[in-house]
Homo-oligomer: A and B are copies of this chain.
């Protein structure tokens, strides 16, 4: 998990005056990040509150000032550290004039960039697979807020292409989007399993994925 490194690490010991207030305001965030890191490394059940505390540079008791209990802490980690890949409005604002095949490519690049650069989506997916059964609403809301919107943008791109006559007329079913985007999820799972010695070069992979999509939707 070397790539997962966040602010919390910097915590620990600074006694400068005035810093206190600023620190206090950041506490919950620091704790969330520390908790995230621990959950990633050990899983929910095996993570000890004390270790989260140590990582956040505070003591056990402090955790309980900000979070009801371990379950709440876990749910807050998932809820507050999940980051949407896209802001749909902004996406269209920035790229409206582009041709549709470029939009598909842009979309893909953004998805992979997001998945590769930051560990949150990936690891939160792990949390949900591992312990989601104990927190059913969590999984549901995560899907609604983060997965679905992403699929939706892709569908909108396909629809645009159809309207413009560059994509096949039957390209944009929600099922098709789902299938066409699968390789991105597959790569994520592979990283979670961390077992493939021969993980593909990312760039090649995205290219291949893009080709696969285009062969399916190009007129």
A129 and B192 form a contact (CB under 8 A) = yes
Contact A175 B129 (CB under 8 A): no
A205-219 Cβ-contact flags toward B at 8 Å (1 or 0): 100110110011000
Whether B175 and A179, one on each chain, are in contact in the complex, defined by CB atoms closer than 8 angstroms, is no
B183 and A139 contacting across the interface, CB-CB below 8 Å: no
Asked if A26 CB lies within 8 Å of chain B CBs, one says no
- A91 CB to nearest B CB, Å: 23
A66 interface contact, C-beta 8 A: no
Residues of B within 8 A of A208 (CB): 173, 175-176, 179
Q: Which of A9-17, A41-49, A82-90, A94-102 contacts the other chain?
A: A41-49
Q: Is residue A149 within 8 Å, beta carbon to beta carbon, of the partner chain?
A: no
A178 contacts the other chain (CB 8 A): yes
Expressed in whole angstroms, the minimum distance between the Cβ of A115 and any Cβ of chain B is 14
Docked Cα-Cα span, A57 to B139, in Å, equals: 33
Q: Is B46 in contact with A193, judged by CB distance below 8 angstroms?
A: no
B-chain residues with CB within 8 Å of residue A212 when the two chains form the complex: 176, 179-180, 212, 216
Cβ contact of A182, chosen from B128, B143, B182, B192, cutoff 8 A: B182
A105 to chain B, nearest CB (A): 16
A18 at the interface (CB under 8 A from B): no
Binary interface profile of A, 31-54, with partner B (CB < 8 Å = 1, else 0)?
000000000010111100000000
Contacts of A93 in B (CB 8 A): none
A208–chain B nearest beta-carbon distance, Å: 5
Q: Known contacts A129-B189, A183-B182; decide if A175 and B196 are in contact (CB<8 Å).
A: no
Cβ-defined partner of A41 (8 Å) among B133, B189, B195, B200: B133
How near does chain B come to A175, taking the closest CB pair, in angstroms? Answer: 5
A-B contact pairs, 11 of them (CB 8 A): A43-B43, A126-B129, A129-B193, A140-B195, A173-B208, A175-B204, A176-B212, A179-B183, A179-B212, A182-B186, A185-B186
The 6 A-B pairs at the shortest CB distance, nearest first, are namely: A45-B45, A130-B130, A182-B182, A182-B186, A139-B195, A182-B183
